Structure formats: structure tokens, C-alpha cells
Chains A and B, each alone.
Chain A
């Protein structure tokens, strides 16, 4: 049982949405994995299982995640009645103030600590959510389409920010997304979920030389699109 996150033969059934049919997945420490899939493929269900949010679900299998696991949702999910800083250090106690401030500075929100969440833009709110996840020094970061609600320009900036911060803090990351380019750009490895099963496990390994990099990205993209275009089994 090595690896940071570890899922074996996970089965989940819901009455209305999301089904998992025997999923095996390992995420190594520091590894950035993108989880792709069409809507309804079960990717959110898998993430919720890892986050421990599926109390009501029926199913079987084994899920193991590290003690320090943070979750970023599609909405920033800030408490409107707490200031930005209090949202970041929610549940950690006032002694974490300094670290909270430092993390806010890291996500580019220095001196906004006393603002109310509604005073921030959508992108800024999501950055607060990122700070809230990172201030806990997670070993595993679970992100459920965290940039899905942002405009294209803000999303590009958030990609750069996430890449930079993932190098500094080096958590294992599982990013749920339906955006193929986002997955190629950010992840070390891409897994694809279809009808509750993992159907593809593809290392990205983008070279640093720009030309080779583009070539590799194009090839990964092609493989993913090909898999996506196949009819579901």
C-alpha cells in the first residue's frame, strides 16, 4: 500500500446520479493527476468518495487518503460572514494568523485579509479557497473543476498560479476537469473515467523544449480525443 492516495475496487451507487464500477487508482506523493471524463461519467463521485463526503452512498471497496487532505470545490465556498483571512484559517485558531496572511500573499491577495467575500471577484474568491486549502499544508489536494466557473482569462492565470504553488508546496493533486487542454497543461498523468470505470491512464511528460513540448501535447491531445470519441462500451 504505497502512494499517497489509494483506491481499490471502488463501487458506488446512487439512486440519481453518479455510479462507480470498480475503480482502482493510486496517486503518488507530489504527483499531479488530472481526472477527465464526460459529465455523468462518475468523476465527481470518485472525488467525493476520496474527500469522504459520500456518507449516504451505497457501495464497497477501499479508499485511503492521507491525514492532511484539502478539497477545493467548483464554487469558492467561502463563508459570507467571515472575513477573507478568517475563511482561510477557518478551524485552525488565531495562532495561524501569520501563516494565513503569508498564504494569502502567495495567492496574490496580500492586504485583502479584512475584505468580505462578496467584495471579491470570482477569481479572487477561488484564490482564497486555494489559500484555505494550502494553509493546511495538504499531502493531497482534491479539486473538483475548480476553474469551471471562471472566465477564460482568469482561468489561464489560475493555471499558472496552481502550477507554481504545486511546485512550492508539492502536494499530490487530483484535479477533476472536463477540459482536455487544462489536463495536458497541468498534470503529470491523465486518467479518464467512463461509465464508472477508468478506461485510460496516460503519462503526459511534457518536454521543456518548446517545439518538442507542443508536439508531445498534440499527441496526448489526439489520444485523449480518440478515446473520448469512441462509443461507450
Chain B
């Protein structure tokens, strides 16, 4: 009995080997909208079926119509402009300070000791706990508001920029030395581009932190801004106006994050990474 030929015949033709893909596929530009769209759908269904009491959470279309009314009255854009100005001013000053101090502490030993130590110390104190002191020092006007926002923005920017800067490959520093680059060229061609990915990550966190701080300072004491609009609406139990305020915050947060991501894509074209 000879089973050999049968086995040979039964052997399946080898299938082409395909490796399992570990990297993710190229992502679509609008893919990020999928999550929010699903949430909106869920919310609409709950509102239509009456599961959601409009006094607790109004329907999405109520938010839209109230938003249109507020725009027609001019209140929304007026308050939005004030809020945006505060947030941008805070983002601007916070970013400048974050990058400047990251450079100082990353590029000089003494600077590192002084600045980094201080920053680590301050990290333990929540920014909101500083607000009473900020009011004491800067009053209750715009200076205090912008300072609180700038402080909130400063930390993520500083930490991310500093981390990226410290991670710059020492081989590039050697290269700069053998090419006899000037201090300025070293900074502009090696240090800053090397720290840019970190800075942009910090900017994304910083933008979120800016809106968060904005909400807090505008609800504390203000006579204008989205936060003021929401606080006022709460006093009159206008849930629809409160909701418009929330939606505006959400759009601002999402929009600023998308904007920074877009900048990231542009500025970091040279990278080959998993997530693009």
C-alpha cells in the first residue's frame, strides 16, 4: 500500500502570502466628523421620540433656531468676537512664553535648572486655584482674563516643546558643529524644526486649554463674551440659549483643533508616520 502519490496530489497549491497590515489606512480629511455626526443623530432621535425633556436639553433644531435668532439680534457674534479675542490673545502670549522658556531651559544648563524646576513646581497647582490670586494681582478686567488663559496655554506648549527639543538627536548637533553653523543658523535650521512637532502637539492641547480657561473666567465676572451669555441665560432659565453657548464652545474647540492639525499636516510634510 503506497499512499505517497495521494498525499502529493492532495497538497493544496500554496496561497500567496499577504502580511497582516499593522499600519492603519490613509485617513480621509472629513473622517473626524463621523463621531460628532453620530452623536447628533442620537440626540435628534431622543428629542423626536420625546425621551429628552426640552427643559433639560432642548432639541438640536431648537439650538439652531435660537442660534439664528441670537445672530439676528447681533448678540451671538458680538459675544463671540469678545471671547475669541480673549482666547487668541491668551493663546498668543502663552505660546510665546512657552516657546521662549522652552528654548531657554533646553539650550542652557543654568536655564534648565532655573526654569524647568519652577515649571515642574507650578504644574502641581491647578490653574483654577490661581484665579483668586490672579484677581488680587490683576483685578477683574481683561488683563486677568487673558493672563489666566495665557497661563493655561503656557504649560502644554512649554512641556511639549521642551520635550521635543531635548529629544533632538545629538548627531545633528555634531553635524552643525562640523558645518560651523552660526548660533542663529543652528537655532533656525536644527533646533526649531526639530522642536516643531512638539510645539504643534502643545498647541493642540493649548488651544483646548484656552477655551477651558475662557469658560471659567467668563463665568466668574464678565459683561460680555459667550460665557457671560450662558451665565445670563442660566439666570433666566433659558436652556436654549445656554445650549447655543455650549454648541459654540464645542465648535470652537473642534475647529481650533482641526486648524492646528491642518497646520501640522502642512508643517510636518517631511515626516513619514503611522497616523497619516
Contacts and interface: CB of A to CB of B under 8 A. Distances in A.
A79 B193 contact: yes
Contacts of B177: 52-53
Given A77-B172, A91-B189, A116 B180 contact: no
B266 interface: no
Given A90-B189, A91-B185, A118-B270, A53 B174 contact: yes
Contacts of A75: 171
20 contacts: A52-B178, A53-B174, A69-B178, A70-B178, A73-B174, A73-B175, A77-B171, A77-B174, A79-B172, A79-B175, A79-B190, A81-B193, A81-B270, A82-B270, A90-B179, A90-B181, A91-B176, A91-B180, A91-B185, A116-B270
Given A91-B189, A118-B270, 18 more contacts: A52-B177, A52-B178, A69-B178, A73-B171, A73-B174, A73-B175, A77-B171, A77-B172, A79-B172, A79-B189, A81-B194, A81-B270, A82-B193, A82-B270, A90-B179, A91-B180, A117-B270, A118-B272
Contacts of A107: none
Contacts of A136: 179
B171 A91 contact: no
Interface secondary structure of A, over-half rule: loop
Contacts of A118: 270, 272
Nearest to B185: A91
A-B residue pairs, 5 tightest by C-beta: A71-B178, A81-B193, A91-B181, A81-B270, A91-B179
A22 B185 CA distance: 36
B182 interface: yes
Contacts of A117: 270
Contacts of B189: 79, 82, 90-91
Contacts of A80: 270-271
A22 to B, nearest CB: 25
A51 interface: yes
A132 B185 CA distance: 16
Interface of A: 51-53, 69-71, 73, 75, 77, 79-82, 90-91, 116-118, 132, 136
Nearest to B180: A91
A90 B175 CA distance: 10
B124 to A, nearest CB: 35
Interface size class of B (residues with CB under 8 A): 20 to 34
A77 B272 contact: no
A91 B182 contact: yes
A53 B173 CA distance: 10
A90 B179 CA distance: 8
Contacts of B178: 51-53, 69-71
Contacts of B172: 77, 79
Contacts of B176: 91
A89 to B, nearest CB: 10
Contacts of A77: 171-172, 174-175
A90 B270 CA distance: 17
A80 B182 CA distance: 20
A136 B269 CA distance: 28
B161 to A, nearest CB: 15
A132 B172 CA distance: 14
Interface string B178-204: 111110010001100110100000000
Query: In the complex, which of the residues B174, B181, B182, B269 has the most CB atoms of chain A within 10 Å of its own CB atom?
Result: B174
A134 to B, nearest CB: 13
Interface string B154-183: 000000000000000001101111111110
Contacts of A116: 269-270
Contacts of B180: 91
